[in-house]
Structure 1
């Protein structure tokens, strides 16, 4: 009796297997690039703090109070930058995991805007701030902590990507039940080809890639506004500045589900 013919074994096409391997390799490399970017951005202010502190230690007996104050201020600014980066990374991590939940309460939006601008302006005392806040309701319902974080991201970006002597303009207006907070600068602007991608996490415009930044700020601000049922609009022209409009509902009591 002859043996029954053996059924040929099904094999995975080599091209498909190789394609999957290449896709996995690209994904892994992309993740490594992102981690490397974050590590680099954290290292920059940390290196500044380290160098300034060592300088103070070595020259403490030869420095006058004015020099010590100037170096201490630089250390303070670098530590603020480090804290900002860490907070942005942690917030982004919570956002991607669905860990950001709104805690709505009643608050005065004008006070929030003025406080955020005053604190950011204090980091660059010589920079002009022009505020035109009008038409706001006495009370807004939303998460004031998250909304202030989103506003600080937008204002600090305007400062970061414009020259120190150029003004930051912040204005408000009300349309029906929606409030529009507009932040304008006269800085580097965003290239037209980059505008469609500027709210994507980790994306950075071509003209600012050599400047400090993670590419997470605007995507996080957009996420916070979406949770409130609002939005983030961006208008920009390279070399002529950027206008960002934060759209916030007057009342948000439950929050929306949204993925970054």
Structure 2
């Protein structure tokens, strides 16, 4: 709870300080200054919303309260949208996207799978410099789709790698960066509900590759607990 409170306090403090600055100096700020501060408030609010959603989803998952609502959807369009929306937060970030070899449609829960993708893509951005590219590829094979997100960031120390899917665990080189340690465990849980899996490969200072394995068809879901 102390960790979660600290993570929530950081964006709240940013929003509070910037809003007070706008109130006190409104008559002396240029349009550009207002735009800059408003963008910082917006980014802090996005971070706060992400934290709250992750905490709520983890709570539901740990209580067995997440159920699939499967339907047919275009996976390639979902992947493109996630990359476009996440990339919009860092306009200078290069995204290399290759999803031409995925099935036209799959059956699964698009909302939950989008959440898992957002977690992994946002992690790739968080733990690498804004000028470093993110590679996103997807391939269909033997009834499964493998979605791979690769960054060139700080990577994960070898001794920490076996524990990265455990709730609240954070690599020792990431402790000063924002995060709760819940994201990957939640993404893994979502993939398991679909009958799939999540794998992490990484080398410290060389980057991380996360692979999401999704069945082309899942209509019932499985029971898993975090």
Q: TM-score, normalised by structure 1?
A: 0.86
1:72 aligned residue: 38
Match of 2:12 in 1: 46
- Which of 97, 112, 119 is the aligned partner of 1:131? 97
Q: Between Structure 1 and Structure 2, whose CA radius of gyration is higher?
A: 1
Q: Which has the higher helix share?
A: 1
**Cα deviations by residue, 1:135-167 (Å, 9 ceiling, x for unpaired):** 111111000000000000000000000001000
Match of 1:220 in 2: 186
Q: Distance in 2 between matches of 1:224 and 1:183?
A: 16
Q: Displacement, 1:134? A: 1.9
Structure 2 CA distance for aligned equivalents of residues 65 and 212 of structure 1: 30
Runs of 4+ displaced beyond 3 Å? none
Cα deviations by residue, 1:100-136 (Å, 9 ceiling, x for unpaired): 0000000000000000000000001111111011211
Q: In structure 2, the residue corresponding to 1:181 is in which secondary structure? A: strand
The aligned length equals: 226
Matched, 1:245 2:211: yes
Q: Which of 101, 123, 143 pairs up with 1:177?
A: 143
1:220 Cα deviation from its structure 2 partner: 0.1
Which residue does 1:190 correspond to in 2?
156
From 78, 84, 87, the counterpart of 1:118: 84
**Please, what is the CA RMSD of the aligned residues?**
0.5
1:174, distance to aligned residue in structure 2 (A): 1.4
CA distance in 2, matches of 1:172, 1:228: 17
Structure 2 residues without counterparts, runs of 5 or longer: none
1:63-111: CA deviation from partner (whole Å, max 9, x where unpaired)? 1111101100000000000000000000000000000000000000000
Q: CA deviation at 1:177?
A: 0.2
Q: Could you tell me how far apart the structure 1 residues matched to 2:146 and 2:103 are?
A: 12
The higher relative CO (CA closer than 8 Å, separation ≥ 6) is in 2
**What is the SS of the residue equivalent to 2:170?**
coil
Gapped runs of 5+ residues in structure 1? Answer: 1-34
